[in-house]
Structure 1
Amino acid sequence: MSFSCSEDSVTDEFTNANGNVQEKLITSISITSAQNNLENEKIELSYTQDGKLNTITNGVNTNIFVYNNNNELTDIAGSGINNLSLEELYQSPYDAFEAGDVLNYDDNGNPKTIEFYEEWYEYNYITGNYEYFKEIYTANISYDDAPNPYFFTLQAGGIIDVLDGIELNFSLNPQVPEIVQAKMLFPSNNPSQIVYKNENGETIYTINANYSYDSDNYPTSGTITAVSSGITTEQSTYSVVYEYLN
């Protein structure tokens, strides 16, 4: 695993990159596909009276955040929802932001180049057997000069405290190595482009996100375009709308 030259916490790096920004909590994320309405989804988030993240639901599955008497996160119960995952939102077929190693960072401490493994099986018609393949891919990320819109929402859910190492609860899932990896992969700014390349340096997939921002520099809506490069080129387009707690 590659480590940033900075030993700052996630909170410190976010503040260093963005300054004293307005705190905003996401209440909903609506995703609309231009290709298939079955891909449409709305994620809704609720909060307790004291501002702690309470639930995340997509109308089918729900995650419930559980805290102790000191308002420290102790568990996330319910069905798994990955919609606050960067690549899930961007409809990426890869998981560099979950399983990758950071090769280098930009000046704001954002992961700039991530290395990850892609594994698959292919059927060999000559031998009649499936063959295993494993390649090293890279993801190159660019960012808008805007704060990561999920930061304060994740902070309200106790996740940032876990990443900062303030309260490492060994009963939480994921376990400590995954927490360390999540910290190294956490971006302080809002990604605007991800370019995936295979081990030969050939571009295989590109995601571009074009956002509209409010006066506090938080995204209110955006268009996400994904282009798969191969024998044929395929393009997918999604629109996303953010709503925040008043």
Structure 2
Amino acid sequence: MIRVLLADDEELMRAGLRMMLQTQPDLTVVGEAADGREAVRAAAALAPDVVLMDVRMPLLDGVEATRAVTGSAVNGTPKVLILTTFELDEYVFSAVRAGASGFLLKRSPPEVLIEGIRTLAAGEALLGPTVTRRLLAEFARSTPPSPAPETARRLARLTDRERDVLLLLGRGLSNPEIAARLHVGEATVKTHVGRVLGKLELRDRVHAVVFAFDHGLVRPGGGEVRRA
């Protein structure tokens, strides 16, 4: 059973989400929150698997609430699925940096939202192509720092092939694209991705992209890479 927390300042929106999710045999709504602070408290008390987080809420917005919910730990923390009205919401980039693992429009069809919750609960990330392109564009606007000694130590945990996979993740490639580039099967790529995330203590492939840019492994723009 996937435990879901609803965080939205509109009571009608929460009621609609609850009614929709309760029709699914593998989903259960364990709580609701009408503002960001309440969402943080409820996440700590109820330990949901997934938090549906409205990005614009009173007292504490969805970005800061996401940062507080995910904290610094990787394992055992809820996955946050950001819900917003606008596809290119100015908060999306900040929310991903804060620890969100997915993003969906409020007008998404019910089946898309339900499958999105299942995707996050299974440990995957959920970002559409438009949002992914925007994230990479945002990264490209700033020059990343050179890899720090701590980054080098973390990267030393990876094999050469795992490092290759990380660099391709940082360029936004999908598993099939990585498989074609490295001339291996998709199942092999999936295994490598899992090991990269585990060794670097990253939540999902979205945060692997963040890691690659933040630590100077991928140059803005053309997709060239730097060696640590």
Please indicate, yes or no, whether the TM-score normalized by the shorter chain is above 0.5.
no
The structure carrying a bigger strand percent of its residues is: 1
Larger radius of gyration, structure 1 or 2? 1
TM-score w.r.t. structure 1 length?
A: 0.23
TM-score w.r.t. structure 2 length?
A: 0.24
The structure carrying a bigger helix percent of its residues is: 2
